[in-house]
Amino acid sequence: MIIEMPSTTTNDVNKRLVKLRDEGGAVALGRVLTLVIDVGDHGVEAAIEAANFASREHPCRVIVIAPNNDRESNELDAQIRIGGDAGASEVIVLHPSGELRGHGDTLVIPLLLPDAPIVAWWPYEPPANPAADPIGRMAQRRITDSTECSQSLQTLQRLSTVYSPGDTDLAWTRITLWRGLLAAALDQPPYESVTRAVVAGNSTHPSVDLIAAWLAQELRCPVEIERQPDAPAITLVSLERKSGPIVLDRPDGKTAALRQPDQPEHRIALPIRQLSECLAEELRRLDADEVYADVLTKGLARL
C-alpha cells in the first residue's frame, strides 16, 4: 500500500504510521534498525528495491530523502509504503523543497525508531565527509558506494582521507566472495609466502583497487594492477608463490576458474554480486569494519 501525503509535516507522518499499525496490526517492534537513504538528485526506486530485499533479512524502517529541486516553497511531501510495496520494512519517502532541503536531519530525527541503530546510505554521490554530514553524524554506520560515482577512483581516494570508524563502501562488500576464496586457497598446503600478486579488472572499478590494496596490506608483497577498459568488474587475481601461482580467473563475470599447481582446475559460480545482496551483508554488522579501515587508509597507499 502506498499513501501519499502532500504538504505535510513529520509529526503527521508519525501519527499516520501509528494509526496504520493499529489498523493493520503491522508490527514495528521487531524492526532492528533505521536505514536512512539519501539519494540526492537520483530516483528513489532502485534504492528502495534494494532496501526492501535487504529488509527481509534485517527488518528495518527505511527513510528515503529525495529533495525536490523544482519547487521553491519550503514544503515537505511525504509518502508511506507498507505491506507488499515495502518488503519486510516500512518505507517513508520524504521530498523536501526550498530551505527544508538543508535540514534533512531534523526531518529524519522524529521518524527514527526508538533505541535502534541508524544506518545511513548514499547510493550515489556521497558527501565530501560522510561522518561530518548531518545525517552521517547520527548514524552508527555510513555506507557509500564509490562504484556508482561518476569519478569512482577519485571518490575512493577522497573517502580514504576522511575515514572515520563506521564508514564502509559497497565496492568493498562486492569483493567479499573473492576474498573468501583467496583466503581459503591460502589455508591449504603448501604453506608458502606470496611473493607477488596481480589483479586485473575494469579500469574504473573501485573494487579492483580495494582487492589489490587488501592483498598489499595483508601479504606485504608487490601488487600490480592490470586495468582493462571494458572488463566486468574484477576479472583475475593471481598470487605468485614458489611452487606456482594460485589463479582465480573470471573473464565473463559469471563463472570463475581456480587454478593451482598440482590441482585439478575448479569452476566456481561467482556471479557479480547484486546491490541488494551487498546491502544485506552490510547491515549484518553494525560495528566498525577495522579491516576495511586498514585497507582504505593504509593499503591503497601501498599500491
Partner 1 sequence: MSPRTNPHKVTADDNPLRDPRDRRLPRIAGPSGLVIFGVTGDLARKKLLPAVYDLTNRGLLPPGFGLTGFARRDWETQDFAQIVHDSVKKYARTPFREATWRQLAEGIRFVQGEFDDPEAFERLATTVHDLDVERGTGGNHAFYLSVPPSAFPIVCRQLAKSGLSKSREGSWRRVVIEKPFGHDLESARALNDVVSEVFEPDDVFRIDHYLGKETVQNLLVLRFANQMFEPIWNAHYVDHVQITMAEDIGIGGRAGYYDGIGAARDVIQNHLIQLLALTAMEEPVSFSPEDLRAEKIKVLSAVRVPRDLAKHTARGQYSAGWQGGEEVVGYLEEQGIPAESTTETFAAIRVDIDTRRWAGVPFYLRTGKRLGHRVTEIAVVFKRAPHLPFESTATQELGNNALVIRVQPDEGVTLRFGAKVPGTAMEVRDVTMDFGYGHAFTESSPEAYERLILDVLLGDPPLFPRHEEVELSWKILDPITKSWAAKGKPEPYRSGTWGPASAEAMMARDGRTWRAP
Residue 269 near partner 1 by CB under 8 A: yes
Residue 58 near partner 1 by CB under 8 A: yes
- Residue 10 cell numbers, joined: 513529520
Q: What is the largest CA-CA distance in the chain?
A: 70
Task: Closer to partner 1 by CB, 222 or 232: give it.
Answer: 222
Q: Which helix (H) or strand (E) holds 78?
A: strand 76-81
Work out how close the CB of 292 gets to partner 1 at its nearest, in angstroms, rounded to a whole number.
Answer: 9
- Residue 183 cell numbers, joined: 583466503
Sheet holding 141-144, edge to edge: 2-5, 76-81, 90-96, 60-65, 33-38, 118-121, 141-144, 167-169
Residue 180 near partner 1 by CB under 8 A: yes
Name the nearest CA neighbour of 300 among 174, 196, 155, 173.
155
Distance CA 126, CA 136 (A): 10
Residue 22 near partner 1 by CB under 8 A: no
Task: Closer to partner 1 by CB, 155 or 217: give it.
Answer: 217
User: CA dihedral defined by 185, 191, 193, 196, rounded to 10 degrees?
Assistant: -40
Binding mask 27-56 for partner 1 (x = CB under 8 A): x-xxxx-----------------------x
Work out how close the CB of 197 gets to partner 1 at its nearest, in angstroms, rounded to a whole number.
Answer: 9
Residue 77 near partner 1 by CB under 8 A: no
Residue 222 near partner 1 by CB under 8 A: yes
Interacting residues toward partner 1 by CB under 8 A: 27, 29-32, 56-59, 88, 173, 176-177, 179-184, 186-189, 191-195, 215-216, 218-223, 254-255, 258, 260, 263-264, 266-271, 281, 285, 289-291, 302-303
